[in-house]
Structure 1
Amino acid sequence: MFWENIELLQDARLHSVQSTFRQFQGFRSSDMGSIPGLSLLLLVASVSILTSPGVLGGKILVFPVDGSHWVNMDLMLQSLHARGHEVTVVRTTTSWYIKESAPHYSSISIKLPEAIGLEDQEFFSELLSKILSIKKEGPSLFAFVKFYWEMLGKLSGLHQQASMIVVEMFENKTLMQSIRDTQFDLVLLDPGLPVGVLVAHELKLPTVYNVRWVTSGEGHFVVAPSPTSYVPVSGHVASDKMTFVQRVKNSLFYVLNMGVDKFIVSPHYDRLVERYFGPDVNFYHLLQGADIWLMRIDFVLEFPRPTMPNIFYIGGFQCKPSKPLPAELEEFVQSSGEHGVILMSLGTLVKALPVEITSAIAAAFAQLPQKVIWRHVGETPKNLGNNTLLVKWMPQNDLLGHPKVRAFVAHGGTNGIYESMYHGVPIVGIPLLFDQHENILRLESRGAAKVVDTNTITHQNFLETLQEVLHNPSYRNNMQRLSELHRDTPKSPLETALFWIEFVMRHGGASHLRTESYKMPWYALHSVDVICVLLAIVLVLTAAVVGAIRFLCSRLCRRRKPKQE
Structure 2
Amino acid sequence: MAKMTMKEKMARNCMAYLLMIRKVGAIAIKQQFSTLERKETGHIKNFELKRFVYHIMKTLLLFLTTLPLLVCSLNVLFYISAIAQSHIPFHNTAINILLERGHTVDLVIARYNEMVNIYYPKGVRRNYTFGYEDSNYWSKNAMHLYNIFEMKPTPWAEFSGFDDAAFELCEIAVRDPNLLEFIKHGQYHIGLSSDYDPCANVIMHAAGVPARASMIPTPMFQQQVLNAGLPSPASLYGTCLYPKTDDSFIRKMFDLLRHTYNVNFVAPKMMARYNGLLKKTFGPTFPNVEEIERNVDLVLVNSNEIIEKQRPISHKIKYIGGMGKKKAKALGKEFDKLLDSALKGVVIFSFGTQVPTKKVPIEIRKNFVAAFKKFPDFLFLWKYDNATMDSELFRNAPNVHRVEWLPQTDLLGDHRVKAFISHMGLNSFLETSAAGVPVLSIPLFIDQHHNALNAASLEVGVIVDRDKLTEKNLISALDELLNNPKYQENAQIISKMMNQKPEQAEKVFYEWVEYAANNPGLHNILNLPGAELSPFWYYSVDVLLVIAVFVLLSIFVLAKILKIVSSWITIRSKSKSE
**Same fold, TM exceeding 0.5?**
yes
CA deviations 1:462-511 (Å, max 9, x no partner) are 23422332222211111111112222321212211221111101112412
1:431-450 correspondence runs (5 A):
431-450=443-462
Q: Tell me how far apart the structure 1 counterparts of residues 422 and 509 of structure 2 sit (CA, whole Å).
A: 27
Whole-Å Cα distance in 2 between the matches of residues 248 and 116 of structure 1? 40
What is the Cα deviation at residue 332 of structure 1? 4.2
Matches within 5 A, 1:135-534: 154-169=161-176, 171-172=177-178, 175-205=179-209, 206-211=211-216, 217=222, 219-223=224-228, 224-238=230-244, 242-258=247-263, 261-262=266-267, 265-279=270-284, 281-325=287-331, 327-352=332-357, 353-367=360-374, 368-377=376-385, 380-381=389-390, 382-384=392-394, 385-510=397-522, 511-534=524-547
SS at match of 2:149: helix
Alpha-carbon separation, structure 1, partners of 2:267 and 2:282: 19
Pick which of 311-320 and 419-428 moved more: 311-320
Partner Cα separation in structure 2 for residue 337 and residue 505 of structure 1: 52
Equivalent position amino acid for 2:456 in 1 = E
Q: Which moved more, 1:400-409 or 1:49-58?
A: 49-58
Q: Retained in 2: the 8 A contact 1:346–1:410? A: yes
1:84-123 aligned at under 5 Å gives the runs 84-92=102-110, 95-97=114-116, 99=118, 102-105=121-124, 106-115=126-135, 123=143
Q: Distance in 2 between matches of 1:199 and 1:37?
A: 56
Q: For the Cα contact (< 8 Å) 1:375–1:394, is it kept in 2?
A: yes
Question: When the two structures are superposed, what TM-score results if normalisation uses the length of structure 1?
Answer: 0.81
Q: Deviations over 1:95-143 (max 9, x none)?
A: 54463653142421224313586678982454413337xxxxxxxxxxx
Please say if 1:62 is aligned against 2:70: no
Further displaced range: 199-208 or 419-428: 199-208
> RMSD of aligned C-alpha atoms?
4.1
**1:128 equivalent in alignment to 2:148:** yes
| Post-superposition offset of 1:547 | 8.6
Fraction of identical pairs, as percent: 22
Deviation string, structure 1 residues 300-358 (Cα, Å, up to 9, x no partner): 22222111221222333353421334x35444444435433221111222223112212
For the 8 Å contact 1:234–1:435, the answer to whether it is kept is yes
Say whether 1:44 aligns with 2:53. Answer: no
Deviations 1:173-208 (A, max 9, x none): xx4334212200111011113321111211232211
2: CA distance, partners of 1:213 / 1:513: 22
**1:216-271 alpha-carbon deviations (Å, 9 max, x no partner):** 736324421112222233444435x7344432222123124336733774455233
User: Conserved in 1, the CA contact under 8 Å of 2:145 and 2:445?
Assistant: no
Q: Higher mean Cα deviation, 520-529 or 482-491?
A: 520-529
Q: How far apart in 1 are the matches of 2:418 and 2:172?
A: 45
- Partners in 2 of 1:483 and 1:494 — Cα distance? 17
Q: Contact conserved, 2:442 with 2:465, CA < 8 A, in 1? A: yes
Change (3 A) 1:13 1:398: closer
Quote the Cα distance in structure 2 between the aligned partners of 1:482 and 1:471.
Answer: 19
Distance 1:335 1:555, change over 3 A: closer
**Whole-angstrom distance in 2 between the partners of 1:50 and 1:110:** 42
Question: Following the alignment from structure 1 to structure 2, what is the Cα–Cα distance between the partners of residues 489 and 416?
Answer: 19
Q: Normalization by structure 2: what TM-score? A: 0.79
> What SS is found at the alignment partner of 2:318?
strand
- May I ask how many residue pairs the two structures share in their alignment? 538
Structure number with the bigger relative contact order (C-alpha 8 A, sep ≥ 6) is 2
User: In structure 1, what is the Cα distance between the partners aligned to 2:555 and 2:470?
Assistant: 67
Distance in structure 1 (CA, Å) of the matches to 2:295 and 2:69: 31
Q: What is the SS of the residue equivalent to 1:130?
A: coil
The answer for the alignment partner of 2:36 in structure 1 is none
